[in-house]
Amino acid sequence: KGFSDKMCQCPACNEYLRADHIAQDHDIPNAATLSCEELAEKICVLPCPACSKVLGKVDVFSFNLMFQTTIGPGSQRKGYLRPETAQGIFVDFGRLLRFYRDKLPFGTVQIGRSYRNEISPRQGMIRLREFTQAEAEIFVHPEMKDHPNFARYADYAFPLLTSKQQLAGQEAKTYTMKDAVDQGIIANEYVAYYLALTHELLVSVGVKPEKLRFRQHLPDERAHYAEDCWDAETLSGRFGWVETVGIADRTDYDLKAHAEQSGDSFTAYIQFDEPRREKRRVINANMGVLGPKYRGKAKAISDALQEVPPGSDGATVIIDGEEIFVPSDLYEVKEEEVDVRGVDVRPHVIEPSYGIDRMIYAVLEHSYFEEEVEGEIRKVMRFPCRIAPVQAAIFPLMARDGLDVMAKEITRTLQEQGILVEYDDSGAIGRRYRRQDEIGTPFAVTVDYDSLKDNTVTLRDRDSMQQVRVSKDQLTDLIPALIRGKSSFSSLI
């Protein structure tokens, strides 16, 4: 029921439109959180993005984003394509808990396709009807939200745009994760840990730090059940700030919802270090009378009596939606001391959710550069070495006279080192360099006639376009070191 968007139809051109997008495009604040009535009032004076005519009085309504389909022969059963990947993890909670030997915390990651019936897909990879999601569900004890490895990121610092700063019109401010948790800016160590982990991941794959921010959801934007929620947003030159990753403390909302629908407990049994003596109220139902009186419902009534406070004359329980009054002479209430060895708890969930397509788009846009070189425009993708689709290109100056043999030998040797290598002997050497620049290859090795004499080759750096002669035998150690950041090209000059 939560997967819906606010939609309207233009009276002039009959185009269906996202009402909140129209409002956002005209800088109306908090457009995503406005009600249908409020949006209709805001956008009535705005132009239709399709035909440019003023919208006027329009009806804004909720549109279900889930793709409906039918299951099996005869199309008798309705089904829906999944709008997110995570729910399968919650359904499998019991199996996962057993896999982790009934211990908290534990986490599960799933990556796959999700589907949403977007009203107006736009912005290329930014808004798709079929997209790739990677989601982690970290199940934690509700009263123990100190991450066991928090020290890894305690002093890690980056800008946070808090809800208070947004409401005050302020810019993001840099915090360490420890300070942010201590000051109550981030709800707990688990959320802070995954914020820092995500920042480190995005920067390492090529998102520019100056074009990355973590924005906290506003109070009226955050889901009612969430304790805290942040979006990692990347800055696009075409689309502005784009939500790329969402990180939330969803409390026990998902497990509780599945428990209510399935009848399973969705809890974990946490054993105490030492048994505890506790006083407990025990209600013993008189099944000899209860059975004949209530027949098939007797067992359910007996169980339900344990959960309700009995009155002086009896107790009211709800069975299958029906209220049933049980007189006090049908049960006995006792107080007794028992040894309690553990307790059932319903875990809280920390959920980082990654939009893989949007991450890829951000890396592509932040890595793309154009510059003038010798009167020509040079296009280059400045990918980090570790994610470049080709990490080294090997060129024979000419595809003859043994140059190609040496170049192919170097190619095979580097491939055995696990390096992504491309051999290319087609066209002028300058054109080959440009081709590799365009796909982001960080290093190129050229074999020329001097290579046959002195066993050296030319090594070229993509970003600086500088070249240096090195021994062919050095390449198996040198190129892996350059790719992994253990060495720098400038140190070779």
pLDDT > 80? residue 485: yes
pLDDT for residue 444: 97
As a whole number of angstroms, the distance between CA 5 and CA 65 comes to 7
pLDDT > 70? residue 276: yes
pLDDT > 80? residue 36: yes
Q: What is the pLDDT of residues 353-376, one digit of tens each?
A: 999 999 999 999 999 999 998 888
Say if residues 275 and 315 touch (Cβ distance below 8 Å): no
CATH number of the structural domain 4-64: 2.20.28
Parts of the chain belonging to CATH 3.30.930.10? 68-254+348-357
Please name which of 385, 412, 401 lies closest in space to residue 476, comparing C-alpha atoms: 412
Per-chain mean pLDDT for the chain: 91
Q: What is the pLDDT of residues 99-130, one digit of tens each?
A: 999 999 999 999 999 999 887 676 678 888 99
Question: pLDDT grade, residue 30 (50/70/90)?
Answer: confident
pLDDT > 90? residue 349: yes
H or E stretch covering 357: helix 356-367
pLDDT > 70? residue 222: yes
As a whole number of angstroms, the distance between CA 84 and CA 89 comes to 11
pLDDT > 90? residue 476: yes
As a whole number of angstroms, the distance between CA 253 and CA 259 comes to 10
Question: pLDDT grade, residue 281 (50/70/90)?
Answer: confident
Say if residues 476 and 417 touch (Cβ distance below 8 Å): yes
- Written as six digits, the tokens of 372 are 């003038």
Q: Tell me which fold the domain 68-254+348-357 belongs to.
A: BirA Bifunctional Protein; domain 2 (3.30.930)
Give domain 380-492's CATH superfamily. Answer: Anticodon-binding domain (3.40.50.800)
As a whole number of angstroms, the distance between CA 33 and CA 23 comes to 11
Q: What is the pLDDT of residues 55-99, one digit of tens each?
A: 999 999 998 889 988 888 877 788 999 998 888 899 999 999 999
pLDDT for residue 263: 85
pLDDT for residue 106: 96
- Written as six digits, the tokens of 447 are 């074999």
pLDDT for residue 1: 59
Parts of the chain belonging to CATH 3.40.50.800? 380-492
Indicate the DSSP class of residue 217.
Answer: P
- pTM for the model: 0.82
Compare 247 and 21 and report the one with higher pLDDT: 247
Parts of the chain belonging to CATH 2.20.28? 4-64
